[in-house]
Structure 1
Amino acid sequence: MLQSEDRGVVPTTKLVKQMIHDRMDGLTRSERQLASVLLQDYPMGGLQSITKLAGAAGVSTPTVIRMARKLGFDGFPDLQDALREEVAAQIKKPISKRDAWMVDEGAEHPLMRFAQVVWTNMRHTLERIDTKMFDKVARLLADTSRPLYVVGGRITRSNADYLFNHMQIIRPHVTMLGNSANVWPQYLLDMDERSVLVVFDIRRYETHLEKLAQIASERGATVVLFTDQWGSPIGRCADSTFNGLVEAPSSWDSTIALQLIVEALIAEVQEARWEESKERIEELEAMFSSTRLFRNQG
């Protein structure tokens, strides 16, 4: 059977970095110093020896142990075990993902089981989302003085396409980066401090996307990242990051939780630019009518 807090849904154990953020206000100054070091090189920073970690943070080893216990672990080794499990989950291959979701053959219909998992993903994603960040990103996407660039990975390309197609209707100056990374430098030429780059990248993270985001950030562009619960390495240079739960009873991850955020952003941007986007939609429909690309609706 599936192991979880709800029947048929994904586990909701928090990541170590989420535990750190949740308890930051209750940490001492030296513990916050340690937390900063852990988050700067997450999760690898926490996998070094306790003496090296303490030295890097400029704190004592008892401080490391004390903070681990404040996070809910029995000690530093348990914290490291949690970090190792996170790393293993990030690089899990599709076949391994399916094996992890072995279920009772007598369970409910697969459609309902899958829907329960996806619903739980969405619910927990929404519980963790920063609504102020959502509002800030919506304002960014609605600002036509900020050229918008969109790119996705092998699996998330469809999410990027969806965002691009709608943003292109709502506002001008929207560019979808080509499939080949070889041509990306040509897009980077036009990116500067006015530009916004939206990147989709989930586990088995793609190094060429990380390089793209890094260079765009160095050129002054604002980087918005859509990723999974573990977090793409792009998060290190992203200005805003949306984390969505992606695990599902399949060899493949589900991006529905991320898509929920995308569609909500599209709705918010259209509302913010309603008069302008209405004109664009009407003009677009007139073009469709004149070129007869679509059959007239009665």
Structure 2
Amino acid sequence: MTPTTKLVKQLLQDHTAELTPSERQLASVLLQDYPMGGLQSITKLASSAGVSTPTVIRMARKLGFDGFPDLQDALREEVAAQIKQPLSKRDAWMVDDSAEHPLMRFAQVVWTNMRHTLERVDTEMFDTVAKLLADKSRPLYVVGGRITRSNADYLFNHMQIIRPNVTMLGNSANVWPQYLLDMDKNSVLVIFDIRRYEAHLEKLAQIASERGVTVVLFTDQWGSPIGRCADYTFNGLVEAPSSWDSTMAILLIVEALIAEVQDARWEESKERIEELESMFSSTRLFRNQGN
């Protein structure tokens, strides 16, 4: 690996004059989706840039790396450094306040996140996961982290209405082994984990995977370590002009899955919704609009 302390994007800019047209095209793709673009497989990166895999290797070497794996290691180190300094995330987004209203500035970033996330979603995987979630014979378990628990709650609340046999894991990791007792190869575990990745979630996923459980992961563009044992992984872009990450792109995929599952189970879910509404009416937990 190169001994330089420069960021990969700085190296790309420094060596622009030395790059061939194909390598410049590759560099442009990397910079457009930095650093996520460089963390995908070499074949996917080459395909995205419209170049050959040898071109990717040659460019990595021109930047001073032994090869593409070393370039990826450098990108991962950059990400790790960012994770260790969460307050620096806000500083990186500081711009001229007079440029536009903060609401619109933030919204523009979120819209961009969603667009790039959708461009990278594997639609076949989406369809497969939707079928898994719609299958009531497969017990469904849902869990999230400190920040992503709200995303997990959202999925759980809707799945519980649409289909039976859905469980939200408790807040305390100390009781998770009790849920694992009932998980087997027929079970599905949906986990939400974005930076800063949570070790107890990774351990939960590892044990569940060893028991044959199908693990579905929702994570950020860099990818939680849980991805190593997950069967299906959805990556959403999360960076925003804030000290906190935005999970709107992840929520977009979640809501689309909810809609697809409900459509697939419409007749059954319709009956469940009608029965639920009847319960609300009889217990008067909610008032009808206009009353």
TM-score between the two structures when normalised by the length of structure 2: 0.81
1:69 counterpart residue number: 58
Q: Distance in 2 between matches of 1:125 and 1:73?
A: 30
1:95 Cα deviation from its structure 2 partner: 1.3
Alignment of 1:247-286 (within 5 A): 247-286=239-278
Q: Partners in 2 of 1:70 and 1:116 — Cα distance?
A: 32
Tell me how far apart the structure 2 counterparts of residues 293 and 147 of structure 1 sit (CA, whole Å). Answer: 28
Q: Which runs of 4+ in 1 moved over 6 A?
A: none
Shift of 1:250: 0.3
Give the alignment partner of residue 148 of structure 1, picking from 140, 144, 164: 140
The aligned residue for residue 36 of structure 1 is: none
Distance 1:221 1:199 in 2: 12
Q: Which residue of 2 aligns with 1:222?
A: 214
Q: CA deviation at 1:86?
A: 2.7
- 1:72 and 1:287 map into 2 onto residues whose CA distance is 66
Q: How many residues align?
A: 251
Cα deviation digits, residues 213-260 of structure 1 (max 9, x gap): 000000010000000000000000000000000000000000000000
> Which among 162, 172, 176 is matched to residue 170 of structure 1?
162
Conserved 8 A contact 1:196-1:224: yes
Unaligned 5+ segments in structure 2 are: 1-30
The aligned amino acid for 1:76 is F
What fraction of aligned residue pairs are identical, expressed as a percent?
78
Deviation, 1:67, is 5.6
Secondary structure of residue in 1 paired with 2:137: coil
Instruction: Please tell me whether residue 212 in structure 1 is matched to residue 207 in structure 2.
Output: no
Pairs within 5 Å for 1:235-254 = 235-254=227-246
8 Å CA contact 2:216–2:233 kept in 1: the answer is: yes
Name 1:181's counterpart in structure 2: 173
Alignment check: 8 A CA contact 2:145 2:198 kept: yes
Question: C-alpha separation between the residues in 2 aligned to 1:237 and 1:71?
Answer: 29
Offset at 1:20? 1.6
| CA deviations over 1:180-219 (Å, ceiling 9, x no partner) | 0000000000000000000000011000000000000000
The amino acid across from 2:40 in the alignment is Q
Cα shift readout 1:240-285 (whole Å, capped 9, x = no counterpart) = 0000000000000000000000000000000000000000000000
Aligned to 2:18: none
Question: Following TM superposition, by how much is the alpha carbon of 1:83 offset from its aligned partner in structure 2, in angstroms?
Answer: 3.4
Alpha-carbon RMSD across the aligned residues, in angstroms, is 2.0
Partners of 1:85 and 1:15 lie apart in 2 by: 14
Per the TM alignment, residue 99 of structure 1 is displaced from its structure 2 partner at its CA by 1.1
Match among 33, 41, 49 for residue 12 of structure 1: 33
Q: 1:72 to 1:19 in 2, by over 3 A?
A: farther
Which residue of structure 2 lines up, in the alignment, with residue 191 of structure 1? 183
Shift of 1:17: 2.7
State the SS of the aligned residue for 2:189: strand
State the SS of the aligned residue for 1:289: helix
User: Deviations 1:71-124 (Å, cap 9, x if unpaired)?
Assistant: 6963416714333223323x2433111111111122100000000000000000
**Is 1:136 matched up with 2:128?**
yes
Q: Paired residue for 1:104, among 96, 100, 112?
A: 96
SS of the residue 1:251 aligns to? coil
8 Å Cα contact 1:69-1:75 kept in structure 2: no
